[in-house]
Amino acid sequence: MSEFVRNIRLWFAPEQVRGEGPTPDYRFSLANERTFLAWLRTALALIGGGFAVDQFLPHLHRAWRVGLALALLGAGVLCSLRALNHWVRCERAIRRGEDLPASRFPALLSLVVAVVAVAMVVVVLAGWAG
């Protein structure tokens, strides 16, 4: 947990990241930045999906609609914060010449997306039948 707090401090303090080890090949940093942006796009897509569920499934029961939308929005928020944290950790690992950090997050996110997708199929089919 203290590691996480230290990372949060790094989010706002560029000098500290630069203080770790020598400046790496700029291409590594740019590749890390693109990975960060790809995760941020995923987060924005999840947030957009949250808005879309609310708007394009108007016949759904309100509780289901709000629940699904909030699940997608929560996933989007988690995804964006994790993108930032992972970017900081990778940047530091590159500077120190360590292995890049391993992560369970992709597996977790796929599970959440799969559960939301199955829930949506069930809800839409139930609404169709009823």
Partner 1 sequence: MGGVSRAGRDPGLQPERTRLAWRRTTLSAAVAAVLAVRTTLRGGASATAVTVGALCCVLFLGFLWVAHQRIRVLAAESRPPALAPRQATAAVLCAVALAGCAAVVLVA
Residues whose CB falls within 8 Å of the CB of residue 93, separated by 6 or more in sequence, listed in order: 99, 100, 101
Q: Which part of the chain contacts partner 1 (CB under 8 A), choosing from 25-33, 102-110, 111-119, 120-128?
A: 25-33
Q: Give CA separation, 26 vs 40, 87, 103, in Å.
A: 21, 15, 24
> In terms of CB distance, is 44 or 117 closer to partner 1?
44
Q: Which part of the chain contacts partner 1 (CB under 8 A), choosing from 85-93, 101-109, 110-118, 120-128?
A: 85-93
CA-CA distance, 86 to 33, in Å (whole number)?
Answer: 11
100 forms part of the interface with partner 1 (CB under 8 A): no
Q: Give CA separation, 9 vs 4, 17, 79, in Å.
A: 9, 10, 19
Interacting residue ranges for partner 1, rule: CB under 8 A: 10-14, 17, 23, 26-27, 29-34, 36-38, 40-41, 43-45, 47-48, 50-52, 54-55, 66, 69-70, 73-74, 76-77, 80-81, 83-84, 87-88, 91
